[in-house]
Amino acid sequence: MGEDALPLVSVMIATRNRVALLPRALDSVIRQDYPRIEVLILDDASSDGTSDYIRAHYPQVRMFRYEENRGLVVARNLMMREAKGEYIVSLDDDAYFLNGDAISNVVRRMGREPEIGVATFRILGPGAAEAGGWTAEHYTHLFGGGRYCLRKALLEEVGDYRDFFFHQAEESDLALRILDKGYRILFFPGAVVFHENSAIGRDSTRIPRYMVRNLLLRSWLNEPFPWWVLSTGNTIARCVAKGARAGNLRHVIGGFWSAIGEIPRVISLRRPVSSRTVWLYLALRRGVIADTSAICSVYQDPPRGVRNLFG
């Protein structure tokens, strides 16, 4: 296949006050062996000269900037709308590709299986969930926000991120809608990302607050009865227990009350997925499914049972 016949890939990076780290992420994209890549960066109101630095040193980058901090979710939504590629790759500003053929590999893999809507990459680094864990390809229920490749066409069917989530749990909300439309989410180890997990700009109080808020909103917006009732109780219990252990219970409670305040918006936007989708989500969360024929069977008739509730 000639270079011009290859699908364009849009790589998007949202950043805020991390100009010291951003070049490493950008360079790992530029060094990719895939020949058709555009790079989009959104500077979310940085005060460290990020925009000027990128314009001076990376003139090929499509640059966007907010003058006021609007959050990661809003930033990614804008770049997804502006992306010209058939595929959209998301990378965090404190992360970088470890292999130069990552994008080539994922485009080739997703091209073989049109049902794959999202491929989530293997991640290594401090606190990374997959470090020393899964290394084999398998179908899954979720994808990581700064380490995935998504078909742009599916956004027309499922919509984009919810802007009002701001930060945390936006992927699990979108993943439910993706699964409901019949797309698959693949854990793909052919693309490996190292995530530095930088402390720059990281607010330790924001994560527990937005996590409980957005997990509740995800349930209320997407899940049919009685699932949203069960999820509400489970989310509150888990987040309260975790908050008590971590000493940030007041932030968890603040997140809960913030979710209550969003109920009018939830009512207007609520579009429940099917119960089949919920069972599928639980089955994928519980077990590793690597075989294509097996995943077809699970999609057609997800296993139901009490044990899947506790995966």
Digit-coded pLDDT (tens) for 60-72: 999 999 999 998 9
Residues 82, 173 within the same domain: yes
| Distances in whole angstroms, Cα of residue 162 to Cα of each of 78, 193, 212 | 12, 25, 16
Type and span of the H or E element at 89: strand 87-91
The pLDDT of residue 311 is above 50: no
pLDDT confidence bin for 217, thresholds 50/70/90: very high
Residues 146, 287 within the same domain: no
Look at residue 216 in the predicted model and tell me its pLDDT: 97
- Residue 258 included in any domain: yes
Residues 77, 173 within the same domain: yes
The pLDDT of residue 310 is above 70: no
The pLDDT of residue 288 is above 80: yes
Q: Which amino acid is at 38?
A: E
Mean pLDDT of the chain: 91
Angle at 207 between CA 206 and CA 209, to 5 degrees: 65
Ranges 159-173, 192-206, 275-289: which has the least confidence: 192-206
Which pair of tokens denotes residue 275?
Answer: 């119960």
Give me the sign of the Cα torsion angle 69, 42, 50, 201.
positive
Residues 280, 222 within the same domain: no
Look at residue 207 in the predicted model and tell me its pLDDT: 85
Residues 131, 250 within the same domain: no
Burial class (CB in 10 A: 0-12, 13-18, 19+), 247: exposed
Instruction: Considering only residues 303 and 199, tell me which one the structure prediction assigns the higher pLDDT.
Output: 303
Residues 260, 157 within the same domain: no
How do residues 224-265 score in pLDDT, each as one tens digit? 999 999 999 999 999 999 999 999 999 999 999 999 999 999
Q: What's the average model confidence in pLDDT over 122-139? A: 74
Angle at 264 between CA 261 and CA 269, to 5 degrees: 120
**What pTM was computed for the model?**
0.92
Residues 106, 164 within the same domain: yes
Residues 288, 248 within the same domain: no
The pLDDT of residue 129 is above 90: no
Domain boundary among the residues 142, 167, 195 is at 195
Give the position of tokens 């290859």. Answer: 6
Look at residue 130 in the predicted model and tell me its pLDDT: 47
- Residue 200 included in any domain: no
Angle at 299 between CA 293 and CA 301, to 5 degrees: 105
- Residue 245 included in any domain: yes
Instruction: Considering only residues 5 and 33, tell me which one the structure prediction assigns the higher pLDDT.
Output: 33
Q: What is the CATH number of the domain that holds 85?
A: 3.90.550.10
Name the domain count of the chain. Answer: 3
Residues 53, 190 within the same domain: yes
Domain range holding 284? 275-310
pLDDT confidence bin for 135, thresholds 50/70/90: confident
Residues 283, 265 within the same domain: no
Residues 226, 137 within the same domain: no
Residues 184, 225 within the same domain: no
- Residue 201 included in any domain: no
Specify which residues 9 forms β-bridges with. Answer: 37, 87
